[in-house]
Each structure stands twice: as C-alpha cells, then as structure tokens.
Chains A and B, each alone.
With several copies, the nearest count.
Chain A
C-alpha cells in the first residue's frame, strides 16, 4: 500500500496524499488518535483526505459514521475531553449548520468554561471552496465565519508541504483546530488541477507552526494577502504582472486564528498597498479584519485604497459564467492589483 511515493530525494505528493501522510505518521505514533466521518473508510474520503487509512489502521481507528454530524462531531468532543485525539471530518464546510452548536457552543467553549480544566484536542477537517459548479450549498469557504468565533484555531493550507506540516501541528495542538482544505488544492484526479497541488513534501515528521504566515513571493509595490487556492491564482498573476514591471509580494496566511499580524503589517508597511484576495464572502470577513489591523496600527500605512477581491456577498451560483464572475479569478485579481498600483 503506497501512501507515499519517493522519487529520488525530491519526493512529490499531492496535497491530499500529504495530508494523509501526516495523519498516518501521527496515528503510528499515538494510539489515541482516530479518524471519523462520513465515507472516510472504504471510500477514503470524498476528497481523498483519508485514502488508505482504513486498510492501514483498521476499522476501529478509521470509522465511517451515519449522516449525523451533530452526534459524531459531538462524539469527537467528548472523546477528546477523555484524552483521545480525534480527527473528525465534516465532508463539506457548507454542512456546518447542521452541527454548528456542537462546533461552536461545545468544542470551542468547553476549555474556557471549565477554567482550563478540560482540554479538547481535536482536528475538525473540512473541504471548502468552489469553482466546479457545485452550487450554493457545496462551494463555500466560510473561514470568516469560523475565525469570528473564539475558541478554535483555524488553519487553511494551500500546498502539499504546508498541508502535512499543518496537519501534524493541528493534531499535536491541545486545542480544537479547524483544518480547511480547498478541493482545488488537493490534486484530485477528477478535478481541474492546480499545478502546485503536487509538490515536494518532506518525508519525516515536521510541523508548520499554526499562526505563521508565509511570504510566498517577495515584492515591493503591493502586498497581496491571500490563502488557500487563491494563493496560486495570486502567484500566477504576480508572475504575469512582473512582466509589466509590477512587483507583488504575496502572503499566504496559512492560519486565520491565530492571525499573523506582524507579517502582514511588515509587508504593507513596506509596499503601502494591500490587495486582499479571499474566496469567502466579502463583507464582515477576512478582508475587513486585515483592513482593521492596518487601520488600528497606522492608517497612514496604506498609500492607496485597499482592494478586495472576494465573493461579492452573493450565494455561489451554479452556472459557470455566473460562478466565474463571482469567484476571485485571475482577471479580477489582476485588475485589482493594476488599479492599486496605478
């Protein structure tokens, strides 16, 4: 069974395989870890987030559930309070509403309400994002919703190496961590693949610290703050705009809670311009928070108006031309950057 495939030192994995590798290595190490969710067993996860785990760890540790998100997410919380370390999958983040009370009033709050006496170490992993015409109930990102509510860490990897390192960090964290993976970065064989969905992944056991953003491209004219699949769109646009003499610094946030304010502020302090590219809904979300961080530090930092490239407060439409019109696509990103540096 080949969970990993080594290729002469620079071994490349898809994001999905990198996640699975991180989970598997941790499960080897710590018997209190188990994986639970809908179709995580024989199917291997609808988005391949658990492929091969059942075969490797058996059905006592890789557990298919009924379609009872409230029951099994709550079960994960309770098991965590008794010292286990569950990794539980919510198949699409869009389904959060059937179990949000468990997530938000229990998983996220028990540690606080207990005055620190009860820990809830678990990973809630969930697929996010659109772009393949899955409609209004299966295409959302919603990280702004989770980041607004205190008590859970929120991580959002964009590439295979980070996916593994953030997974290991999330598993070892003593807090509940929401791990949001975009379908478009998983490297699935049945979906349009971003070329960077396959990349070099260290073999061993390593963590990407939660709360630390990554400057994925250095530049001096404008700061692009983004995350998840949009990182790749932004890198593509940055490459293109470099030809026009525009130098973009691209920040992959990687975590929303905690948010790496310093990396953002340093960059904006340098470029004086900020474009936020966010596949979540625009208002009352990430772009706002970033604007506030700048404004409460030094509003003079921004020499040009903030630009936001996000979903313009509309449910995600099914039909392709409409969906493409509301997503943060290459052309919208490029236009926003050009306007900001003009």
Chain B
C-alpha cells in the first residue's frame, strides 16, 4: 500500500478526532453547573464518533466529491472525511446562518449538495434516499457511487432489508456499510441481532458481504476500494460490516453505566494503534505525527472560529424554507 495513502488515512482520522474533541469541549463548556442539554453554544443531542474514524477514513479515501455518502445520527467523521466544508459543518452544529442548513438542520441533519453528503436522525432511514441518488447516477450513466452507512443496531430495521433487496435487484451503484460498534445506545449487539456478522445478511440479497475486523483502517480501505469499484462498474451493491468501537457515550451526557467494555475500548483507540503501526513501519515518525496533529488542530480551530463568529439566524426567518 502506498505510504502516501497511509499518511492520508492517518491525517483524516486525526482531523476528525481534532474536530470531535473540539466540539466535545464546546458542547460541555457552558452546560454546567446544572447540566442542561438545551443550554450553551451547542445545544441538543450530540453523537460523536470517536473510535469510528477508520470507517470514515478508509471509505472516503476511495471517493470523490461526485460520489455520494449518507450517514446516520453520528455523521461528523463521514462528513469530514468526504470533504464537506468544515466551516459550514461547524457553523451548522453551532446553529448559525452560515451553516450547511442555515441552522435549520442541526448535527443530525447535514446536507451538502456539493459533495452529495446527507444524513438522517432516523435509524436506517437514510438508506432509501441513498438508493435514489444511486438510481439517478445509474440512469444518467454517471460513474458515481453512493456509500450508505448505518450502525449495527440499524441493521435490524425494516428499511435496511428493503434497501438491500432493491439495490441488489436493480444493481444500483451503492455500497452499504454497517458500523458495528457493539452498541445501540445501551443495547449490545448480542441483544439485537440474531447473527454474529451482518456480512452474513448479504446472502439474503445475493450480493457480496464482507466483515472487517479490528477497526483496521487499511483493511477498510482495501475492502471499500473493491466494493466501490464493483459498484462503479455496474455490478451492483456490496455489504460491508466494520467492527469498530464507540469510545465515548452514545450521546454526550450518556453516563454509560450499562457498559463494561470501556477500559478495553479505550485501549484500542484506533488512532493510537495506527500511529504505532506507521511508526513501526517507518512511514510516519513522532515528529511527522505531531505535525499532522498541529495542522489539523489549526484547521479545526479556524472552522470553529468561523462558526462562533457567524451570526445566529434571525427569528423573523423562522418560517422560511418550508416550501421551495
């Protein structure tokens, strides 16, 4: 594998983590002493993706801005890796008029036509619109593909089944990706899913299914590359499950009392693991890693700064955009 790609994968993961750490900090900064979810510069639910960076980095390295990606309620890592403008992303999270949705959407409802990025707060229900993007690409003879991401909890929702069947039937250029972080809020995978691997579910649609173990960013990259190529060449969808990890709470404020795997999870921070590997391989030394971290921190800081200094929407416009 090209060392440049490796470094890029690493950089993307670090950029995501920098962003999420900064959001985390701002999110909690002004909610105390009586912690109030609706208070502060960033109110509302906040689902951060720390630990799941390998999925975003590995997949999106194979995409261009003409390809589409659909994410879930936990969308930042995919948005960043896919190249959604970080200023507009941050501004949306801060509820500003300069945000992706002019503050109307919020962090679970990010739409960027420029990069065909979208997400939805409803479990598995982002998949059907993703089919439509793929349909449009297919009917127009475009070589673009759609990556449609859900969690392992979502793979038990009806929309998952309907979407896979339809995509397989019509050979739509879609790659389905299941982020298996072992948990759906407090419900462990074993209490939600009758099979140990969602890759097995590909058999129900006659498409290839693959499972990537160990949150391995390079393996994600490799498997995604194959699946995206397959989709691009008109051979239809693939189902990929990645065993990843949720390092933080389901949403911020989640005390995770139900969880006994936290210590272990922390020990498997994929960014540290990958940094170690790249160092051992001689691809990236500590200095190089530090430089990347610094660059990312800067990029994030400037995006957050943009967001914080952008105006809040004027309440007089509250009724706008219901209809085109």
**Nearest-CB distance from B71 to chain A (Å)?**
14
How far does the alpha carbon of A135 sit from the alpha carbon of B166 in the complex, in Å? Answer: 30
A67 lies within 8 A of B96 (CB):
no
**Nearest-CB distance from B130 to chain A (Å)?**
6
A191 lies within 8 A of B319 (CB):
no
The stretch of A39-47, A230-238, A270-278 that contacts the partner chain? A39-47
**Nearest-CB distance from A158 to chain B (Å)?**
19
B128 lies within 8 A of A113 (CB):
no
B135 lies within 8 A of A66 (CB):
no
B105 lies within 8 A of A135 (CB):
yes
A192 contact from B38, B44, B253, B318, Cβ within 8 A: B38
B103 lies within 8 A of A76 (CB):
no
**Please, which residues of chain A bring their CB within 8 A of the CB of B135?**
75, 78-79, 84
Interface SS, B side: loop
Given contacts A66-B193, A190-B253, contact A113 B105 (CB under 8 A): yes
A115 lies within 8 A of B99 (CB):
yes
A131 lies within 8 A of B38 (CB):
yes
**Please, which residues of chain A bring their CB within 8 A of the CB of B122?**
94-95, 97-98, 101, 105-106, 137
B217 within 8 Å of A (CB atoms): no
How far does the alpha carbon of A72 sit from the alpha carbon of B172 in the complex, in Å? Answer: 13
Chain A residue at smallest Cβ distance from B45: A134
A322 lies within 8 A of B318 (CB):
yes
A80 lies within 8 A of B104 (CB):
no
How far does the alpha carbon of A67 sit from the alpha carbon of B109 in the complex, in Å? Answer: 20
**Please, which residues of chain A bring their CB within 8 A of the CB of B128?**
70-75, 77-78, 102, 106
Chain B residue at smallest Cβ distance from A110: B111
Given contacts A68-B162, A114-B111, A325-B315, contact A119 B44 (CB under 8 A): no
B165 within 8 Å of A (CB atoms): yes
**Please, which residues of chain A bring their CB within 8 A of the CB of B181?**
none
A82 contact from B132, B166, B169, B186, Cβ within 8 A: B132
B159 within 8 Å of A (CB atoms): yes
B166 lies within 8 A of A72 (CB):
yes
A206 within 8 Å of B (CB atoms): no
Q: Which range holds the interface residue count of chain B? A: 35 or more
**Please, which residues of chain B bring their CB within 8 A of the CB of A102?**
125, 128-129, 159
Chain A residue at smallest Cβ distance from B324: A174
**Please, which residues of chain A bring their CB within 8 A of the CB of B99?**
115, 319
B318 lies within 8 A of A317 (CB):
yes
How far does the alpha carbon of A315 sit from the alpha carbon of B163 in the complex, in Å? Answer: 26
A321 within 8 Å of B (CB atoms): yes
How far does the alpha carbon of A191 sit from the alpha carbon of B37 in the complex, in Å? Answer: 5
**Please, which residues of chain A bring their CB within 8 A of the CB of B112?**
117
**Pairs A-B, 3 closest by C-beta atoms:** A74-B128, A78-B132, A318-B106
10 contacts between A and B (CB under 8 A): A66-B184, A67-B124, A67-B156, A75-B132, A75-B166, A114-B104, A132-B43, A191-B38, A192-B38, A314-B318
For the A-B complex with A79-B132, A190-B253, A322-B317 known, give 17 more contacts whose Cβ atoms are closer than 8 Å. A67-B184, A71-B131, A71-B162, A72-B166, A75-B135, A78-B131, A78-B134, A82-B116, A101-B125, A112-B104, A115-B103, A115-B105, A116-B102, A117-B101, A317-B318, A319-B103, A321-B318
Residues of B participating in the A interface, judged by any CB pair closer than 8 Å:
35-39, 43-45, 68, 92, 95-96, 99-109, 111-113, 116, 118, 120-125, 127-137, 139, 153-154, 156-159, 162-163, 165-166, 169, 184-187, 191-193, 253, 257-258, 312-324
Residues of A participating in the B interface, judged by any CB pair closer than 8 Å:
34, 38-39, 41-43, 46, 60, 64-84, 86, 94-95, 97-98, 101-102, 105-106, 109-119, 121, 131-138, 150-151, 153, 174-175, 189-192, 312-315, 317-322, 324-326
